[in-house]
Structure 1
Amino acid sequence: MWRFGLRGRMAMSYVLVTATAVLLVEAVIVALYVLPQAGATDLASVLRDQAGRDAKVLSLDAARRPPPLPDASGRDLLQKATSRPGTLLSGVRPPEPGFAMLEMLVDTEGVIVGSSAPEIYGVGTGLDVPLPGREGGGGTARTRTGTTVWHFSPVTVKTPVGLQILGYVYVQAPAEAAPAAPVVGSLAPLLVPGLVAVGLVVPVGLVFGLLSTRRLTTRVRRLAGVTTAVASGDFRPRVAVTGSDEVSTLERSFNLMTDRLGAAVEGARLTARAEARQAERGRIARELHDSISQDLFSLSLLAGGMRRAAPDALREQAEAMERTAARAMREMQALLLELRPVALEDVGLLPALEELCHAYETRLGVEVRAELAEVALSPPAEHAVLRLVQEALGNAIKHAEPTRITVRLGRHDGPVTVEVSDDGQGFDPSGVAAKHGMGLALMRERVAELGGRWEIHSDGSGTTVRASLP
């Protein structure tokens, strides 16, 4: 089934509105000019209307003539009025189609003063029906033309003594005459131009509607295409904003919504990745604790027992084994703390750092001093600071054998600075980086991704790791 698109429906709306307007105008014209005549549904009503209109015309003409008034019959005035153009009596207007309508003007004595058919009703002769009263009237009677329907309407003029009747307009027609013909005939001149206008409006309105809606439908179609792409998961397309109308507002709002939705989806993806990494680190930490840590603890107990039970020749080797097992357990504890997930999103950066420092201090017996100040960082930067401190603490515990570690966080002249320093045995950073510097390289890359600066200083009195973040 063929369906209209938006452009076709809007074009058809133009056509329908215009055609409806033309038809409404036609209906008003018919109501104002045709329906009053159509209301005369019988021959008597048509004759009454005809006699009344002409009597009113003759009364107005008599009222405009200067005094003195004619005699009581008004015959002179009526004779002059019979020649007035525009009335049926003047002979200018032909009889109505479909009727054998005759019209006469008679005085108050019933004598014909003017006639539309002098060969039938001559001037100076009388009528076949009696005169009515002052208000006029009509009826049906047998006249010289056959059975006739007739009507009288008085011609009056206002005088100082009251309203004076000068005569009567008399109209008659055969009783079998039908009044519908003149009403139907009068509709054609009014309806034909309207129908022609409707015929012209349809193609013109269609073309105008198609042209005027072309740009709007193109913009809506483009917006629908981008919406489909976004719905399929592609947040890169954007809608070109044109103009300053309601559609342009929709375009701007759609672009803003797409930006926010894309950012939200990317944030959710990063969060999911971080949670997955945290879960994996937790799983590895649990496995190390449940397997290797327990084995190292057992090895330490065995080495202690061997040291106590071994002869003097083997005691030194047993002590070395015990020290090695203790050092391995210490490094394993540091590794577990490094892998231990910290709920940064739940508690915030400072509480997370304080918890981390407290864990190293209580579980490894090393003094960890935290000098932390409130700073404003983005979520990725906070995560980088936490991982940097965690990595630095783990490296210090595993390699430097410190007695005190200091963690500092604050803002100095613009950038945020995080610093981890210890009093353990130093090392050569360049030599370590060339051999086993995976942890140092990760710290350096993490800071570089945020546009910060990373540096490390180490000598015989300790090591300091410092990072400056924007």
Structure 2
Amino acid sequence: MWGFGLRGRMAASYVLVTTTAVLLVEAVIAATFLIPQANASDLASALQEQAAGDTKVLSLEVARLAAADPGRGDRELLREAAAGAAGRTVAGGARPHAEPGFAVVETIVDMDGVIVASSAPGVYRPGTTLELPLPAGAVRGRPARPPMGALEPELRLELPMPIREGGGNGPTRAGPAIWHFSPILVKDAGEPGGFGAIGFVHAQAPADAAVTDLPDLTPMVVLTLVVLALVVPVGLVFGLLSTRRLIGRVRRLAGVTTAVAAGDFRPRVRVSGSDEVSTLEHSFNVMTDRLGAAVESASLIARTEARQAERGRIARELHDSISQDLFSLSLLAAGMRRAAPAELRGQAEAMERTSARAMREMQALLLELRPVALEDAGLVPALEELCRAYETRLGVRVEAALEEVALEAAAEHAVLRLVQEALGNAVKHAAPTTVSVRLGRGADGGVTVSVSDDGTGFDPAGVAGRHGMGLALMRERVAELGGRLSIDSGEGGTIVTARLT
């Protein structure tokens, strides 16, 4: 269920992304091509552009007519210019507005606001006065423009400033509208700048033309639904197929994780590809290797500590019970030997020798089991202390040839216990007079430790199944360190050699 849930969520994400992309594309198309909206400022700019264009045409026509007949009045110039520009301006009645959907009306008025020409004579009839305010600087009732150069310099100062464009919005004959005035200029020496206005081009459009009617979006909605009906199943199938391999890898990783959590560190994840999941697979394998090694090391330490604790407990039990009984038995045998009649004295002496041998073996066993301070002194001092203890307590000559070698803590502990067990076996079973302990580094760079004695030998194969000599334990210690243990025994004594790499 976990894998299916993840796969389902990833497939759902594909569908969601695909659906969102389709809706965004449809929205952009609708906003760009199907639902164009013009605000008031856009409409005013369009009116200004149209009026300015027509003004240029009319200004040129007025300049031509004024040059041909300087005595004509302004209103006559405007009327003849509008007639001469017919076909090139809206007011002339021929050129349509450049923005379809705008109900544009254009008129030509003189400085008194009287309509000279109109593109909608039914509403704005020529000869009537336009009720809209003219731009600032326009003077109604201004006398006819005098001939160019006829004005005196002092009179020129009383003329108004150059007339600029202007516009506004509000009620008109045609209803609420937005309008714009653009002055029709003519060269005039009496005006500042050398040009004067003799009229205006007035362009207006209904105010509700600022927001166009929304088109019928039903076909587009139907098309969007059809596209979604086709895209959603495709996105779902693509999502399921494209995530199949990824989900399989995640499932394998989850299975191995479950095994590791249960304590089995053997399984590994097969690393495939070079993406983030493969990095996770490789890291998981490395983590499992290290975790397994750490658990094995902790287990080894725990077994070693448990073994040492058990050895200490056994040593205490032997010392407190059996050693005391053997000591009492030796005392009783010595007393019997002294008090027994001659015919029983031989048996008493045999009992005394047996008890003494048992005491000797018990002391050797206790020395084998006793703990030695390795951490504080080091390997060589600990081995020297061990050799002196055997010499002092058991009267056996121990020759030590010890070389300082660098070993890990676990290896030092194993070497110490190996020598301890080999010395105990020699004293208990071989009755030697001399024992040699040697520690050094061989020609191959490995560490060699050997314990040899001149006592009675034994057959290593014949004691393989018996307990008490510790051969199996010594082999186990050396094997844990990756070394080899060899035992050579015969009539001349026994040599136990361990080689650590």
- The TM-score, its normalising length taken from structure 2, stands at 0.71
Letter in 2 for 1:465: V
Letter in 1 for 2:449: V
Instruction: Using the TM superposition, give the Cα deviation of residue 11 of structure 1 relative to its aligned residue in structure 2, in angstroms.
Output: 2.5
Tell me the equivalent position of 1:264. 294
SS for the counterpart of 2:266 is coil
Label 1:367 to 1:14 Cα distance change in 2 as closer, same or farther (>3 A). Answer: farther
Which residue of 177, 181, 187 corresponds with 1:153? 181
Q: Is the 8 A contact 2:397 2:433 kept in 1?
A: yes
Which residue of 210, 214, 234 corresponds with 1:185? 214
Q: Is the 8 A contact 1:417 1:469 kept in 2?
A: yes
Q: Is the 8 A contact 1:54 1:169 kept in 2?
A: no
Tell me the equivalent position of 1:219. 249
Which residue of 320, 325, 345 corresponds with 1:290? 320
Instruction: Using the TM superposition, give the Cα deviation of residue 291 of structure 1 relative to its aligned residue in structure 2, in angstroms.
Output: 1.6
Q: Is the 8 A contact 2:61 2:84 kept in 1?
A: no
Tell me the equivalent position of 1:168. 201
Q: Does 1:248 align with 2:281?
A: no
Q: Is the 8 A contact 1:410 1:418 kept in 2?
A: yes
Percent identical among aligned pairs is: 50
Q: Is the 8 A contact 2:92 2:118 kept in 1?
A: no
Which residue of 451, 459, 465 corresponds with 2:496? 465
Q: Distance in 1 between matches of 2:292 and 2:439?
A: 33
Aligned residues between the structures? 447
Query: Which is worse superposed, 151-160 or 214-223?
Result: 151-160
Tell me the equivalent position of 1:417. 448
Tell me the equivalent position of 1:11. 14
Which residue of 465, 473, 486 corresponds with 1:454? 486
SS for the counterpart of 2:269 is coil
Tell me the equivalent position of 2:159. none
Q: Distance in 2 between matches of 1:213 and 1:396?
A: 70
SS for the counterpart of 1:185 is coil
Label 1:405 to 1:196 Cα distance change in 2 as closer, same or farther (>3 A). Answer: same
| C-alpha distance after superposition, 1:205-232 (max 9, x if no partner) | 6565555544444433332332222222
Q: Is the 8 A contact 2:43 2:210 kept in 1?
A: no
Q: Does 1:106 align with 2:102?
A: no
Q: Distance in 2 between matches of 1:338 and 1:183?
A: 107
- The TM-score, its normalising length taken from structure 1, stands at 0.75
Q: Does 1:274 align with 2:304?
A: yes
Q: Is the 8 A contact 2:97 2:104 kept in 1?
A: no
Instruction: Using the TM superposition, give the Cα deviation of residue 337 of structure 1 relative to its aligned residue in structure 2, in angstroms.
Output: 2.2
Q: Distance in 2 between matches of 1:81 and 1:347?
A: 121
Tell me the equivalent position of 2:51. 55
Q: Is the 8 A contact 1:429 1:456 kept in 2?
A: no
Q: Distance in 1 between matches of 2:214 and 2:368?
A: 105
Tell me the equivalent position of 2:153. none
Label 1:408 to 1:6 Cα distance change in 2 as closer, same or farther (>3 A). Answer: farther
Q: Is the 8 A contact 1:61 1:81 kept in 2?
A: yes
| C-alpha distance after superposition, 1:259-315 (max 9, x if no partner) | 110111122222222222222222222222222111000011112222333344433
Q: Does 1:302 align with 2:307?
A: no
Q: Is the 8 A contact 2:61 2:81 kept in 1?
A: no
C-alpha RMSD of the superposition: 4.7
Alignment of 1:65-80 (within 5 A): 71=66, 78=82
Q: Distance in 1 between matches of 2:267 and 2:186?
A: 88
Which residue of 84, 87, 96 corresponds with 1:83? 87
Q: Distance in 2 between matches of 1:95 and 1:430?
A: 115
Tell me the equivalent position of 2:386. 356
Instruction: Mark the runs of 5 or more structure 1 residues left unpaired by the alignment.
Output: none
Q: Distance in 1 between matches of 2:423 and 2:385?
A: 13
Q: Distance in 1 between matches of 2:407 and 2:414?
A: 10
Q: Is the 8 A contact 2:14 2:239 kept in 1?
A: yes
Q: Distance in 1 between matches of 2:231 and 2:403?
A: 78
Label 1:161 to 1:434 Cα distance change in 2 as closer, same or farther (>3 A). Answer: closer
Q: Is the 8 A contact 2:379 2:412 kept in 1?
A: yes
Label 1:324 to 1:192 Cα distance change in 2 as closer, same or farther (>3 A). Answer: same
| C-alpha distance after superposition, 1:166-214 (max 9, x if no partner) | 62224365xxxx828943427969x979967994896366565555544
Instruction: Using the TM superposition, give the Cα deviation of residue 83 of structure 1 relative to its aligned residue in structure 2, in angstroms.
Output: 3.1
Query: Which is worse superposed, 87-96 or 329-338?
Result: 87-96
Q: Distance in 1 between matches of 2:204 and 2:465?
A: 131
Q: Does 1:404 align with 2:450?
A: no
Label 1:104 to 1:330 Cα distance change in 2 as closer, same or farther (>3 A). Answer: same
Q: Distance in 2 between matches of 1:389 and 1:453?
A: 12
Query: Which is worse superposed, 334-343 or 234-243?
Result: 334-343
Tell me the equivalent position of 2:145. none
SS for the counterpart of 2:469 is helix
Letter in 2 for 1:169: H
Label 1:413 to 1:50 Cα distance change in 2 as closer, same or farther (>3 A). Answer: closer
Label 1:86 to 1:268 Cα distance change in 2 as closer, same or farther (>3 A). Answer: farther
Instruction: Mark the runs of 5 or more structure 2 residues left unpaired by the alignment.
Output: 67-73, 136-162, 188-192
Q: Distance in 1 between matches of 2:230 and 2:315?
A: 82
